[in-house]
């Protein structure tokens, strides 16, 4: 499931091949994603040059002079580059055809999105209320601690809230809380300032390392060039329910928070 590291990995794979490339055509086989793909997408894009690819939260923003193509990978989406497109499979919903290369969007569960934005992208409803990027200086312990004072939800739910900080999904929230030694079910407003510092450091660390590893591939995720991510081998708690904690050998436990499976060490996380 693509979280920030997987989306960033995708962006880095696509940018060298697609920056300054020109859209020649778009093939849409299945319009029904999270929202319908715009009917006139092919006409809008045809002939435009892709100027840059930006990532904001888990959104990819493909900028052109006339507008921005927004792509979200949802739960199971991935984008892949091809010199020569193979015959489409069941879940290959969209092909972006450039002069010398093709980009295919695949998404079995169809929770992703492809939108065309003409106005100021930063003012778009999907983007304007987002919290800070976790890997920037704007995401500090002071900010997280002060914000936490006003919230009573479980800390894991809190750091997965895009209004608080973006890009931290179920996998990396679980990992970061383990690294910080903080129980995922602790109410946000009971976080101490010292713990906020540990948590911010842990979030940054786990995201950076995951990007270095090319993301986490559980099933569906592959980078833009088709390679899987290797961070799965470095996961300390996610997917390890019942297995021994790497620090204390206690059997890891699982609970549900905000309708999300949450694995943690009952000994190391308090």
Partner DNA sequence: AAATTCTCCTGAAGGC
Partner DNA sequence: TGCCTTCAGGAGAATT
CB of 220 to DNA, least distance (A): 9
Q: Say how far apart CA 159 and CA 191 lie, in whole Å.
A: 12
Q: Which DSSP string do the residues of 29-73 spell out, in sequence order?
A: S--BSSSBPPTTHHHHHTT-B--EEEEETTEEEEE-SS-EEEEE-
What residues are labeled active site? 2-3, 58, 260
For residue 270, give the nearest of 156, 181, 174 by alpha carbon: 181
CB closer to DNA, 123 vs 259: 259
Residue with Cβ nearer DNA (101 or 127):
127
Given the structure tokens 């319009």, which residue do they identify? Answer: 31
Q: Least distance (Å) from DNA to the CB of residue 90?
A: 6
CA atoms within 13 A on the CB side of 194: 1
Q: Pick between residue 56 and residue 198 the one whose CB is nearest to DNA.
A: 56
Positions touching DNA (CB under 7 A) are 1-3, 32, 34, 57-58, 72, 74-76, 90-91, 108-111, 125-126, 150-153, 157, 160, 162, 169-171, 188, 219, 256, 258-261
Helix (H, G, I), strand (E, B) or coil at 117: strand
Give the E-state strand segments of the chain in sequence order. 23-28, 52-56, 59-63, 68-72, 78-82, 92-98, 102-106, 113-117, 253-257, 260-264
Number of H helices, E strands in the chain: 6, 10
CB of 66 to DNA, least distance (A): 24
Taking the complex as a whole, the smallest distance from the CB of residue 98 to DNA amounts, in Å, to 26
The residue (of 24 and 110) whose beta carbon lies closer to DNA is 110
């Amino acid at each position: 499931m693509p979280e920030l590291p997987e989306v960033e990995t995708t962006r880095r794979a696509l940018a060298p091949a697609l920056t300054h490339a020109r859209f020649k055509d778009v093939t849409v086989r299945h319009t029904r994603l999270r929202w319908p793909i715009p009917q006139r997408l092919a006409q809008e894009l045809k002939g435009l040059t892709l100027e840059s690819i930006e990532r904001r939260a888990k959104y990819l923003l493909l900028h052109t002079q006339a507008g921005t193509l927004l792509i979200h990978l949802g739960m199971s989406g991935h984008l892949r580059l091809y010199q020569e497109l193979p015959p489409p499979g069941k879940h290959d919903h969209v092909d972006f055809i450039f002069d010398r290369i093709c980009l295919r969007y695949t998404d079995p569960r169809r929770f992703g999105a492809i939108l065309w934005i003409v106005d100021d992208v930063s003012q778009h409803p999907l983007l304007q209320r987002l919290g800070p990027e976790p890997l920037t200086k704007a995401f500090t312990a002071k900010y997280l601690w002060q914000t936490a004072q006003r919230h009573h939800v479980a800390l894991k739910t809190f750091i997965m809230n895009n209004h608080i900080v973006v890009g931290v999904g179920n996998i990396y929230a679980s990992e970061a809380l383990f690294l910080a030694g903080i129980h995922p079910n602790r109410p946000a407003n009971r976080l101490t300032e010292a713990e906020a510092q540990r948590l911010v450091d842990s979030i940054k660390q786990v995201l950076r390392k995951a990007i270095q590893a090319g993301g986490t591939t559980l099933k569906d995720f592959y980078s833009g060039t088709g390679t899987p991510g290797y961070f799965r081998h470095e996961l300390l708690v996610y997917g390890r329910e019942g297995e021994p904690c790497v620090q204390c050998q206690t059997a890891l436990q699982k609970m549900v928070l905000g309708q999300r499976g949450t694995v943690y060490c009952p000994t190391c996380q308090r």
